[in-house]
Amino acid sequence: MSEGEKDKRVPIYVDGQEVLVAPGTNLVEAAALAGKEVPHYCYHPKLSVVGNCRMCLIEMGTPGRDRATGEPLLNDDGSPKIMWVPRPVIGCATTASPGMHVRTDSPIVKECREGVMEFLLVNHPLDCPICDQAGECRLQEFATDYGRGYSRFIEEKNVKPKRTRIGPRVMLDDERCILCSRCIRFTEEFAEEPVLGFTDRGSYTTLTTFPGKELAHNYSLNTVDICPVGALTSTDFRFKMRVWFLKETDSIDTESSVGCNTVVGSREGKIHRITPRRNDLVNDTWMPDSGRALYKMTEGDDRVLNYAIDGKPCSPDEAFSLAATLLNNPDVAIVGSGRLSLEEQFLLTRIRARIPGPTPSYLVARTGQGDGKLLSADRNPNVRGALLTGLIEDLPAKELTPLGRLVNEGTVRTILVVGEDLSAAGLTRDQLKRVSVIYIGSHHNETSSLAKIEIPLLTVFEKAGTFVNQQFRVQKFAQAIPGPKGVLFGLSNFTRLLALLPGGETLAPGVSAAWEQMAREVPELEGWTFGGISSTGRVVSDARFAHLPFIETAGLHFEPKSAVAAEA
């Protein structure tokens, strides 16, 4: 917030406590700034306000003014006289005005909340034991915090459709729905593909899809996240694990260069779901469905689980010493990956510095159609990291044709591949057979089957590190689960290899140690530490790369520089 905006902030009084808020802030947010919770269902900070749940009812008043003179009315003790609105108002649709007074826990407010809760629970099926939302359910939370604690309803409850499949990834239970319409607004406003709506009237109002349509777009699971109750649940996560068992770890979506902030829910080394983490500068509170299935890669049958030479399992030390011998030659090429963390890419450049000879280095581009929201055209999460660390000088290509040429010429006899499949990047089997391939990767592929040495790599969920997204924002991810048995911890693969190369340097395999080196060697990162990067990330200077034609198009919170330049 700039100084100018700060000056414009208006004072309001929440339960007598003064708090400065930006003009236009609604009272739910304003009360939150004062540390007071105003319960709400339909209000969502990133969606339009409809005010239909009535849970955020509060009392509001403004300083009175004499109608004739315009003079402020004062109490006997000189304080301004507050003209309270004679009935409660909804906090979400009321914006703060200077000097406004708000009561969030007066008897009237409490009674209102009790009443609203009672109405909401009238037809609620109370199947918490089988409801996936239990544990993170607003209805449960507010019923205990603000409800009356018992039911007076003795009539029969309404029966509505349950267990309805409204999309490939979303299940709907209408009995649990409290008609907040968050999901309807989301599909209209963010996904821009409205498929949900209400039918019928009164207590028979039912959420459903438009005839012949289903909730299938790539943002459908966000409706599950914003559903305050268990009406919308994820088919993938359905009945897998109760949410209170999940250990939540901050992570990053690796499917594109947007770098959506995520929370990984895992229990005892097994990931059960990925949900978006709010970052108003990157992804707001949303993320694509496709990024939520990425955790399945940790459990694939094709994981590389052993250090191996010529396909035979060996000890890590054997693999590293042979790799160091092979790398200590002038005929080495390195193929890195845009999916590696910044630290891994950096350590690759350190390894390259120890290898005699020119050592050409490459990255493999992964592209797709950008959807203009949270899925960009560049499907590598960290190409900018490779540029930053100097692993590559230019934007990567899809095919490694230059490398193929070097192999044919015989100038390259050893290739260090990290996390990429060379066959998919245009090298033929013959070419691969002609060279010694050192494969460091998390999954088996054709390259690994032809590799001289195989070294297992941890996936993004099994290590900590950083990615640099399309905004040149350095974002941290933490280790959610331990790696597979027998795979070395953290950056050990790279530090051990580094130690065995000529003039070997010894580095701790942790992220902080790599960052100490990076702060010294990468000009943009001077003075940075890993711990100093906040959870919303930190933007690094992109001046060095202004000339590069990045392929991302505009998306949420992102405007490509070249596009800006072109318009100008």
Q: Which helix (H) or strand (E) holds 473?
A: strand 473-477
Find the largest Cα–Cα distance for the chain: 96
Distance CA 561, CA 565 (A): 6
Neighbours of 556 (CB within 10 A): 16
Decide whether 173 or 289 has the Cβ nearer to another protein.
173
Measured distance between the N- and C-terminal CA atoms of the chain, rounded to whole angstroms: 27
Instruction: Determine contact, residues 451/310, Cβ cutoff 8 Å.
Output: no
Nearer to another protein, 171 or 415 (CB): 171
Segment holding 361, helix H or strand E: strand 361-362
Minimum distance, C-beta of residue 24 to another protein, in the bound complex (Å): 40
**204 near another protein, judged by CB under 8 A:** yes
- The piece of 126-134, 381-389, 422-430, 489-497 that touches another protein (CB under 8 A) is 126-134
What residues numbered 371-390 form the site for another protein, per CB under 8 A? none
159: number of Cβ within 10 Å: 10
The nearest distance, CB 242 to another protein, in angstroms, is 5
Containing H/E element for 402?
Answer: helix 401-409
Q: Which is nearer to another protein, 206 or 279 (CB)?
A: 206
Number of residues that bind another protein (CB under 8 A): 23
- What's the rounded Cα separation, in Å, for the pair 87 and 103? 12
Residue type, 533: I
For residue 238, what are its two tokens? Answer: 């359905």
168 is a site residue for another protein (CB under 8 A): no
Other C-beta atoms within 10 Å of 327: how many? 23
Classify 401 as helix, strand or coil: helix
Restricting to residues 138-167, which ones interact with another protein according to CB under 8 A? 156-160, 162-163
User: What are the structure tokens assigned to 221, written together?
Assistant: 């699971």
Q: What is the H or E stretch that residue 232 is in?
A: strand 232-234
For residue 480, the minimal CB distance to another protein (Å) is 21
Q: E strands along 182-337, which residues?
A: 196-199, 206-209, 232-234, 247-252, 261-267, 270-276, 308-309, 312-313, 332-335
Q: Based on CB atoms, which residue is closest to another protein, 162 or 538?
A: 162
Nearer to another protein, 150 or 244 (CB): 244
Residue 199: phi, psi to the nearest 5? -120, 165
Q: Determine the interface stretch with another protein among 79-87, 200-208, 335-343, 498-506 (rule: CB under 8 A).
A: 200-208
Distance, in Å, from the CA atom of 503 to the CA atom of 498, rounded to the nearest integer, reads 9
82 vs 134, which CB is nearer to another protein? 134
Q: Which residue stretch of 207-215, 235-243, 315-323, 512-520 sits at the interface with another protein (rule: CB under 8 A)?
A: 235-243
Binding another protein by CB under 8 A: which of 198, 239, 429, 539? 239
Instruction: Select 144 or 325, whichever has its Cβ closest to another protein.
Output: 144
User: How many of the other CB atoms lie within 10 Å of CB of 139?
Assistant: 24
Q: Which is nearer to another protein, 242 or 247 (CB)?
A: 242
Query: What's the min distance (Å) between Cβ of 200 and another protein?
Result: 6
Q: Give the residue with the Cβ less far from another protein, 171 or 351.
A: 171
Give the one residue of 51, 61, 88, 125 binding another protein; rule: CB under 8 A. Answer: 125
Put the strands of the sheet holding 261-267 in their side by side order: 247-252, 261-267, 270-276
Q: Binding to another protein by residue 247, rule CB under 8 A?
A: no
Q: Which of 66, 200, 394, 559 binds another protein (CB under 8 A)?
A: 200
**In the block, residue with structure tokens 């350590």:** 347
- Strand 308-309 to strand 312-313: parallel, antiparallel, or no bridges (unpaired)? antiparallel
Q: Give the Å distances, CA to CA, from 482 to 273, 304, 392.
A: 16, 15, 30
Q: Residues 6, 8, 87, 238: which binds another protein (CB under 8 A)?
A: 238
Shortest CB 247 distance to another protein, Å: 14
- Residue identified by tokens 């080495």 is 332
Query: x-or-dash pattern for another protein, window 10-39, by CB under 8 A?
Result: ------------------------------
- Does 119 help bind another protein (rule: CB under 8 A)? no
> DSSP class of residue 157?
P
Q: By C-beta, is 243 or 554 nearer to another protein?
A: 243
Residue with Cβ nearer another protein (119 or 239)? 239
Q: Is 267 in the site for another protein (CB under 8 A)?
A: no
CB of 196 to another protein, least distance (A): 18
134 binds another protein (CB under 8 A): yes
For residue 467, the minimal CB distance to another protein (Å) is: 34
- Rounded CA gap, 323 and 338, in Å? 22
Q: Does 122 bind another protein (CB under 8 A)?
A: no
Q: Looking only at residues 395 through 454 of this chain, which bind another protein when binding is defined by CB under 8 A? A: none
Query: Of 97 and 203, which has the nearer Cβ to another protein?
Result: 203
Looking at the Cβ atoms of 259 and 265, the one nearer to another protein is 265
Cβ nearer to another protein, comparing 154 with 566: 154
**128 near another protein, judged by CB under 8 A:** yes
Q: Interaction with another protein in 282-321: which residues (CB under 8 A)?
A: none
What would the x/- binding string for another protein be over residues 318 to 347, using CB under 8 A?
Answer: ------------------------------
How remote is the C-alpha of 74 from its chain's centroid?
51
Q: Angle at the Cα of 498 (from 494 to 502), degrees rounded to 5?
A: 160
CB of 347 to another protein, least distance (A): 39
Distance, in Å, from the CA atom of 307 to the CA atom of 313, rounded to the nearest integer, reads 6
CB of 565 to another protein, least distance (A): 54
245 makes contact with another protein (CB under 8 A): yes
Give the nearer residue to another protein in terms of CB position, either 240 or 557. Answer: 240
Question: Tokens at residue 527, please?
Answer: 């003075």
| CA 385 to each of CA 102, 240, 255, 399: distance values in angstroms, whole numbers, following the listed order | 48, 36, 15, 20
Closest contact distance (angstroms) between CB of 129 and another protein is 4
Q: Which residues bind another protein (CB under 8 A)?
A: 125, 127-130, 134, 156-160, 162-163, 200, 204, 206, 238-242, 244-245
